[in-house]
Amino acid sequence: MCRIGAIKSKNYLHPSIALKLMRSQQKGHDNSGFAFVMQDLGGIFAAHKDLPILSMAATVEGTRRAEDILNNLGFTRVLQWSPDINHEKGLKIEPMPNYVFEMFQYPKSHKYATKEEKEELLTDAALMLRSELDKDNAGYIYSFWPDVLTLKEIGSPKDIGTYFNLWEETPDLCAKIITAQCRQNTNYDIVRYAAHPFFLDGYTVLVNGENTFFEKNKDYQMSLYKGYIGFESDSQCFLYTLHYINRILKWPIQYYKHTITPLPFDEIEKRNDRDVLLRIKASLAHLEINGPNTILGVLPDGRMLCVCDSKKLRPVVIGRTDETVIMTSEVTGINDILPDRDFEKDIYPNECETIIVENDLTVKRWQQ
Amino acid sequence: METLKIETLTDNKRMSTQELLQLITSKIEDGYTSFDIQACGQHDIGAACWSKDITKNLEFHITNPGQRAGAMALPGTKITVDGSAPADVGWLNSGATIIVNGDCGDTAAHCAAGGKIFVAGRVGTRSGALMKHDPKFETPEFWVLKNTGSFSFEFMGGGIAVVCGVDCENLTSVLGHRSCVGMVGGTIFVRGPISDVSDCVEVKSLDDKDIAFLEKGLFEFLENINKDSLYIDLLTWEEWRKIVPLPQGHQNSKMSLKYFRKNIWVEGGIFSDFIDDDMVVYPIPATGNGRIRIPKWNRESCVNCQLCISNCPQNAITNQGSLYTSDADKCIGCGICEAVCPRACWSLHSNTKEIA
Amino acid sequence: MATISINQLHLDDLPWIVEYDENKCIQCGRCTASCSFNAIKPVIEKRRKIISKLQKPYFESILVIKQVVDFEHHCRGCGMCSRVCPNDAIKAVRNFNDRYSVRYRAAKADSLKKGGRSNLNTEGRTLDKIKVGRISQMTDPSLDAARHKFELRTPFGRVLAADKLNFVNEYDVLKLTDTLPPNRWIYPVIMGDMSIGAISWRMWEAMAIAAAYLNEVMGIPVRMCTGEGGVPVKLLKSRFVKYMILQIASGHFGWNRILQAMPDMIEDPAGILIKIGQGAKPGDGGLLMANKVAKYVQEIRGVPKADLLSPPTHQGLYSIEESVQKMFLSMNAAFNFRVPVAIKVAASSTSVSVYNNLLRDPYNIVGGFFLDGLAGGTGAAHEISLNHTGHTITSKLRDCYLAAVHQGRQGEIPLFAGGGLGQSGSFAADAFKLICLGANGVFTGRLLLEIAGCVGNDTGKCNACNTGLCPAGLTTQDVCLTKRLDIDVAAQNIVNYFIATDIELKKLMGPVGNSTLPIGRSDALITVDKHVANRLDIQYVC
C-alpha cells in the first residue's frame, strides 16, 4: 500500500513539506519511490500562470527531441528551471540524465484561441511527446499544462529529497497545492509512469490500494478518450474515470462517487433520484471499482477531492488549520506538519462520502 | 529509576521502528519502567514487553505513534497516547491499559482479548472487530467517548465495548454503517442513535446489572481520559442500549413453500381455470388412479384355478364364486395376474390419460 | 420349435439391458408397476429340472421379470425399477454393444429422436479447464462470503452509453429528460425457457412458484422465461407476471391469449425474449411430439393433437434488419416500450456479426443477447441435430464480449450465456467463469429438471423427454406420471438450489475481492490449456 498526501494552503509551500508529511508514514510504504505534483505555483513560475510547463525526465537525446517537437508545433520557450542536483554518493536513487521543467509560450496560431482549444493543443502535444519518447525509452512526460509541475523518481524518498535538494526550502520552488506519494508499488515492474500522482488535463489523482476491477475499467476506458493510455498502474483508471465524469460528461463531481462505488440497490430504491442512479450504475458499470482504495484528487479549478471505496478498506484523515488543509493516509503525518491544530476537527471520511476542499479551504462533506 | 525520554527525530533523521523498539527493549533490560517517547510514526510501541521487576508496571507516554500503539500488549503495561493515533490501536491487546487522548484510526481494539482500551475521541472503521474473550482471563473492555466508523464490531466474539456517543448530535448512527456483522459473542453498550446494525444481533434496553457495570466503568473511563465532568451527562440510562448477538439458529425462519403456494401464490394455482388438479402426489408405484396400467378380467375362459389370487403380490384379487375382481385400492398394476393366468383372463390396459 | 430371423430386433440390440436376479426377486411387482415405458413385464418361464437318471426330466413354470424387446418399449435406463425394488434384484445396465440407432433407422425410415442434450460430448468442457486463479490475498483483501454485503444483480434491457443518457444538470443534480429504453436489474441467472407442453403443468408451475418465492421471500430477484407454449391467463393477470420473461418463438404459440389478457394485466412482464434459435438444435425449430399435446396444451396453443413442429425461422424474417423491425419493434410496442425485449440465438460462427449488428442498431430496442451453446437441453429433438450441430458457448460468448469491447460498447446489450451449465456438477462455477469472460448473466433450463427430480443424465440415461413418458413427471402430460411430481418439493428444490448457488457465487466473488459481479474480469481466470488460454485471452498457467 502506498502512502499518499495532498496539501492545500493559503500560503506558498515548499515541496519539503511533502517529504515531511510522508516521513512518519514510512512504515506504510517501501521507500521505492517518491513523486509529487505542485499546482498553483509560486516562485519563479508565478509570473506566467497561464503558460504551460513541461515536466519531463529524459535522456539528452530525448530532451532534444522533445524540444524539437514543441518547436515544430510552434511553442517557444519562456523559462527553464532545473533542480539543483546533489551528486552525493550512496543515495538510493535511479536518476535520469535530465530533469526538465520548461515553460512555453503558445504557438502564434493559438494567440487568440479559446481555453478549450489551447487545452486540446496541450493534450495532443503531450501525447505526441510521450509516444515519440516511448519509442526508445528516451524519457518520460509527466505533465504539460499551465501552473503544474511534476517530479517522479525511483528510489528512497529521503534520498530523492537529498538528490534534488528538496529538503532545503528555497523561495523559487513553491506552490499552494502539493500532492505527493511514497510508493509501494512493487507488485509490478517499477516504472516511472506507474508512480502517483497521475495527471491529465488539469486533473490530478493519487490513490492507495489495488484496483480489482482494473481489467474491466481498462477495457472500457481504452476507447473513451485519447488521453486514457498507459495503464502502467491500475490506479490510472481512477484518474481517467474522474476526468471522464467531470470533464467529458460534464457531470457534477458528486457523481464520481456514484460511478465508482454506486450505492447498493436497496438504498437506491429508497431515493428520489433512483432512476438516474440506476442508469449510471448500468451505463458505467465498467467504471465501477471494487477494491480497497482511498482516492485523493485535485480538480482543474484547484479544489481538492477525497473519496474512499465502499467498504472503507484504506485509511485517510484530514487535518486543518485556517491556513492549510492536509489529506493523507495517516494522522502521524498531519501531527508532524500541523502539531498545534485542533485535532477534534480532524475528519475521518467514511465509505459514503465525497469530500471537497474548496479554494477558500472550507471543507464540504457530501454524503452519497 | 526516572522516566526515560526518547526523541525519535533529530536533524531530519528519523529513528526507524526497529531501532526504537530495540532501544526500548534494551532499556527495559536496564531496569527502566517508564518511557516518554516523542515518536514519528513508529509502529508497535508498547508491544509485547514486560518489566524485569514483576512488581513494577511498564508505563509508556507517547506522542505521535504510528500504527498499532499498544498492540499485543501485556498485563502490567500502561500506554498513554497524547493526541490521535493511526490504525490498529490495541490490536490483540492481551491485558494492557491503553489510553488515547485523541482519535484512533481504523480497526482500533481489533482482536483485543484482554485489558482496557480508553479512547477520548472517535475510533475508525472496523473498530472492535473480532474482539474475543478467553474465560480464563479478564473480560477485555473497549471504551470510546464519541463514535465508531462503519463496519464496527464485525465478527465480534467476546468482550465488552462501550460507545458513549458524546458530540454525536449530527450523526445518524454512532456505530457507522453495517456494524456487528457476524457478531457471535460479547456485548456492546451504546448511547445515541444507531442504524443499519446487522440482523444477527438484537438491540435491548439495559438491565440493573448493565447499569451497575456502566456506573462503575464510566467513572473509571472518564477519570482515565480526564473528562470527569461528563459523568453526570452520561447517566441517563434511557439513552443507552445494549447490543448482543442473537442465539445461533435464532435467525428468522422462512415461510414454507407450501404455505407460500397456498396463501400467497395465485389462488388455486395458475392452471386452475382450465385444469382440474387435486394436487395429490402419487407414490411409486401407486394404486387406484395412479396406476400406469390397470388389469381387466374377462370371465369367458376362466377355469377358477385361483392362480391369480394366490400370486397377486398386493392381495388385491378376490373371487365370489366364479366372479373375480381386483381391488383398485390395493392393485398397483404390476401385471403378475396377467402373467400367471393360464387362460389369459387378465389383461393389462394403459391408464394413460390427460388432465381434465 | 421357436426360431428367430436375423433382422428381428433382439435384446442385444438395445441400448439398455435389464439385469434381473430371480433368486433375489420376491415377485412384488413394483418394478413392472412403476415402469412408465412398459419396458419390463412379468412372464412365466419354463425351467427344465433333472431329478435323477431314472426319472425323466420335467418342466417347471416360474414367474420372472423380463425385458420387452421392441422399438416402442425398449428400456431407457431410467432406473425406476431398481429404485422401487426392495431386494436390488433388478437394474438397467448400459449395453455397449448396442445397435439400436442402426436398427431403428433401418426399420422405421425415420430419424432418431430424443430429449435431453447431446450425448457425444466429444468437445470436453472448456469451463472445466478454467480455474479462478487470481486470489486476493495481500494487496487487496478477500471478502467474507457469508458476511460481507454482495450485490448479485445485472442489468436486463438496453443500456445506453453514459454520453447518450442526456441528463440535464439542475443545480448540480442530474435529471432524466429523455425516455430511455427499459432496463431492469435482475439476478444474473435466468431460469426456465421451457414451454408448457414440453414440460408438465406441475413442473412449469413449480418453476413459477419457485421464481416468485425467491423474489418475495428470499430477496433473490430471479426471472423466469416462460418458453413458448402459452402462459396461463391467471398468471398473466397476477402480480407475479413481473417475474416472467415472455417468450415468442417461431410458432407464436399462445400469444393470442397473452394479447387478450393485456387489458387486465396489473403488472408488466419482466421482459420479452424472442427466440430465434436453440443451442441444442440450432437451425431447427421447436418440436413437441403429439403424445404430449394434451387437451389443455391444444387449447393454450390453439392447435389439434399432432406433432407440433415450429419452423426453424420466424416467418418473414430473412435478415437481421427485418428481425429488428418486425419482432423487436412489435414486441416493444406491445408494452408501450416499457418492457425490455431480448433475443435468444443458438451460438454459431455467425453470432458475433449478429451481435455487432444489434449493437449498432440505431433504435436501441434490443435489450439483451442470449447465446445458447450446443450443450443445452431440449424436450425433443432429432438426435442428428443434438449430437452434430451447434457451437460451444464459451468462446462464442467471449467473442461477443470482446467484439463489444472493440467498439467500446461492452454492457450496452447485456450478454446472457447458457447451454449445459452445471453439467459437471457446479452451476455456480460455470456461471462465475462466464461472467468473468464477459457475460452479464446466464440462463438455465434443463438443470431445473434435474433439480426437480430428473432421473436421466448426460450419457444417455433416460433422455426420453420426447416420449411423454417421463418417469419423474417432469416432461409428460400424463396424469399418472405428472402426479408423481410433488409441486411443493420440486419448487422447494429449485429454491434451495438457487440459495446454494447464491452462496457459491459469493464464495467465488469473495476470493477475487469483488462484492459486485466481476463482469469481464478475465484476469481472474487461468487455464492449464494453452489453446483455451489463447482463444479466450486469459492467462496460461502450468
pLDDT of residue C146: 64
- Subunit contact B339:C41, Cβ cutoff 8 A: yes
pLDDT band at A53, cuts 50/70/90? very high
Same domain, yes or no, for B11 and B38? Answer: yes
Which chain B positions have a beta carbon within 8 Å of A340's beta carbon? Answer: none
The answer, for B313 touching chain C at a CB cutoff of 8 Å, is yes
Contacts with A354 (C-beta within 8 Å, 6 or more apart), sequence order: A253, A254, A256, A257, A305, A306, A307, A365, A366, A368
Looking at CA atoms only, how far is residue C507 from chain B in angstroms? 16
Q: Is the pLDDT of residue A28 over 90?
A: no
Which chain C positions have a beta carbon within 8 Å of B288's beta carbon? Answer: none
pLDDT in tens, A211-241: 889 999 999 999 999 999 999 888 999 999 9
Spatial CA neighbour of A219 closest among A209, A207, A210, A228: A228
Using DSSP's 3-state secondary structure scheme, residue C133 falls into: coil
B90 assigned to some structural domain? yes
pLDDT of residue C120: 73
Looking at CA atoms only, how far is residue A312 from chain B in angstroms? 7
pLDDT band at A352, cuts 50/70/90? very high
For B267, which residue in chain C has the nearest alpha carbon? C234
Domain count, chain A: 1
| Residue of B100, B150, B195 to mutate, testing the A interface (most A Cβ within 10 Å of its Cβ) | B150
Report d(CA C507, CA C291) in Å as an integer: 44
pLDDT in tens, B50-95: 887 878 899 999 999 999 999 999 999 999 999 999 999 999 999 9
Looking at CA atoms only, how far is residue A351 from chain B in angstroms? 8
Q: Which helix (H) or strand (E) holds C446?
A: helix C446-452
B356 assigned to some structural domain? no
Spatial CA neighbour of C101 closest among C536, C515, C463, C496: C463
Same domain, yes or no, for B231 and B285? Answer: no
- Subunit contact A336:B106, Cβ cutoff 8 A: no
Q: Say which of A25, A27, A312 has its CB closest to residue B149.
A: A312
The answer, for B292 touching chain C at a CB cutoff of 8 Å, is yes
Same domain, yes or no, for B179 and B206? Answer: yes
pLDDT of residue C317: 63
- Which residue reads 515492474 in cell numbers? A189
Which chain B positions have a beta carbon within 8 Å of C495's beta carbon? Answer: 257
Report d(CA B96, CA B104) in Å as an integer: 17
The stretches in chain C having pLDDT less than 70 are 121-123, 138-141, 145-147, 316-318, 320, 324
The conformation of residue A29, written as its DSSP 8-state character, comes to S
- Subunit contact B265:C212, Cβ cutoff 8 A: yes
B18 assigned to some structural domain? yes
Looking at CA atoms only, how far is residue A149 from chain B in angstroms? 25
- Which residue reads 456506573 in cell numbers? B215
Q: Which three cell numbers stand for residue B161?
A: 465495548
Same domain, yes or no, for B93 and B209? Answer: yes
- Mean residue pLDDT of chain A comes to 92
With contact defined as beta carbons under 8 Å apart, do C391 and C347 qualify?
yes
For B8, which residue in chain A has the nearest alpha carbon? A24
pLDDT in tens, B23-42: 999 999 999 999 999 999 99
Phi, psi for B298 (deg, rounded to 5): -120, 120
Which chain C positions have a beta carbon within 8 Å of A252's beta carbon? Answer: 169, 172-174
Q: What ipTM, to 2 d.p.?
A: 0.92
Q: Which of B187, B218, B245 is the last residue of a domain?
A: B245
| Residue of B40, B146, B154 to mutate, testing the A interface (most A Cβ within 10 Å of its Cβ) | B40
Q: Which of B195, B222, B245 is the last residue of a domain?
A: B245
B355 assigned to some structural domain? no
pLDDT of residue C148: 73
Indicate which CATH number applies to the domain containing A273: 3.60.20.10
Which chain A positions have a beta carbon within 8 Å of C153's beta carbon? Answer: 265
Contacts with C250 (C-beta within 8 Å, 6 or more apart), sequence order: C275, C285, C286, C310, C311, C312, C313, C314, C315
Same domain, yes or no, for B107 and B239? Answer: yes
Concatenate the DSSP letters of all residues of A292-327 into one string: -EEEEEE-TTS-EEEEE-TT--S--EEEE-SSEEEE
Separation of first and last alpha carbons in chain B: 100
B251 assigned to some structural domain? no
pLDDT of residue A196: 87
Q: Is the pLDDT of residue A122 over 90?
A: yes
Which chain B positions have a beta carbon within 8 Å of A22's beta carbon? Answer: none
Which chain C positions have a beta carbon within 8 Å of A254's beta carbon? Answer: 172
Question: What domains are defined for chain C?
Answer: 11-110 (3.30.70), 127-540 (3.20.20.70)
- Subunit contact A331:B103, Cβ cutoff 8 A: yes
Phi, psi for A119 (deg, rounded to 5): -65, -40
Looking at CA atoms only, how far is residue B207 from chain A in angstroms? 33
Burial of B11 (0-12, 13-18, 19+ CB in 10 A): exposed
Q: Which of B223, B245, B267 is the last residue of a domain?
A: B245
- Subunit contact C174:A285, Cβ cutoff 8 A: no
Report d(CA B24, CA B19) in Å as an integer: 9
Indicate which CATH number applies to the domain containing B237: 2.160.20.60
Report d(CA A340, CA A353) in Å as an integer: 26
Same domain, yes or no, for B122 and B270? Answer: no
Spatial CA neighbour of C90 closest among C40, C37, C45: C40
Q: Which three cell numbers stand for residue B215?
A: 456506573
pLDDT in tens, C225-272: 999 999 999 999 999 999 999 999 888 899 999 999 999 999 999 999
Looking at CA atoms only, how far is residue B8 from chain A in angstroms? 10
The answer, for C159 touching chain A at a CB cutoff of 8 Å, is yes
Same domain, yes or no, for B64 and B142? Answer: yes
Looking at CA atoms only, how far is residue A281 from chain B in angstroms? 21
Which chain B positions have a beta carbon within 8 Å of C146's beta carbon? Answer: 182
Tell me the average confidence (pLDDT) per consecutive run of 10 residues in chain B, 356 residues long.
Answer: 92 89 94 95 92 87 96 95 96 96 96 97 96 95 97 95 95 94 95 92 96 97 97 96 87 84 96 92 96 93 93 96 94 97 94 86
With contact defined as beta carbons under 8 Å apart, do B189 and B168 qualify?
no
Spatial CA neighbour of A113 closest among A149, A77, A74: A74
The answer, for A350 touching chain B at a CB cutoff of 8 Å, is yes
Range of the domain at A271: 3-367
Domain count, chain B: 2
Helices (H) and strands (E) in chain B, counts: 5, 17
Same domain, yes or no, for B12 and B143? Answer: yes
Which chain C positions have a beta carbon within 8 Å of B255's beta carbon? Answer: 217
Same domain, yes or no, for B230 and B265? Answer: no
* Residues present in chain B in total: 356
Separation of first and last alpha carbons in chain A: 26
> Would you tell me which residues 159-198 of chain A have a C-beta closer than 8 angstroms to some C-beta of chain B?
167
Chain centre distance of CA C41: 33
Same domain, yes or no, for B206 and B305? Answer: no
pLDDT of residue B84: 96
pLDDT of residue C423: 87
Which chain B positions have a beta carbon within 8 Å of C296's beta carbon? Answer: 271, 274-275, 354-355
Indicate which CATH number applies to the domain containing B291: 3.30.70.20
- Core vs surface per residue B260-280: b (16+ CB within 10 A) or e: bbeeebbeebbbeebbebeee
Phi, psi for C493 (deg, rounded to 5): -60, -40
pLDDT of residue B251: 59
pLDDT of residue A206: 94
Q: How many CB atoms lie within 10 A of CB B60?
A: 25
For C471, which residue in chain B has the nearest alpha carbon? B284
Predicted TM-score (pTM) of this structure: 0.92
Q: Which amino acid is at C181?
A: P
| Residue of B20, B101, B125 to mutate, testing the A interface (most A Cβ within 10 Å of its Cβ) | B125
Spatial CA neighbour of A236 closest among A155, A293, A318: A293
The answer, for B259 touching chain C at a CB cutoff of 8 Å, is no
With contact defined as beta carbons under 8 Å apart, do A20 and A335 qualify?
no
HSE on the CB side for A220, CA within 13 Å? 27
Q: Say which of A26, A167, A333 has its CB closest to residue B12.
A: A167
- Subunit contact C217:B289, Cβ cutoff 8 A: no
Same domain, yes or no, for B213 and B78? Answer: yes
For C144, which residue in chain B has the nearest alpha carbon? B182
Pseudo-torsion of CA C17, C23, C24, C28, nearest 10°? 90
Q: Is the pLDDT of residue A186 over 60?
A: no
Looking at CA atoms only, how far is residue C493 from chain B in angstroms? 10
B197 assigned to some structural domain? yes
Range of the domain at B261: 257-350
With contact defined as beta carbons under 8 Å apart, do C514 and A290 qualify?
yes
Residues of B near A (CB-CB distance < 8 A)?
9, 12, 14, 16-17, 39-43, 63-67, 83-87, 102-103, 105-106, 121-122, 124-126, 149-151, 167, 176-177
The conformation of residue C326, written as its DSSP 8-state character, comes to I
The answer, for A202 touching chain B at a CB cutoff of 8 Å, is no
Report d(CA B327, CA A125) in Å as an integer: 97
The answer, for C478 touching chain B at a CB cutoff of 8 Å, is yes
Q: Is the pLDDT of residue A184 over 60?
A: no
Report d(CA A257, CA A255) in Å as an integer: 5
Same domain, yes or no, for B196 and B299? Answer: no
The answer, for B338 touching chain C at a CB cutoff of 8 Å, is yes
Q: Which three cell numbers stand for residue A70?
A: 514543441
Q: Which helix (H) or strand (E) holds C508?
A: helix C487-509
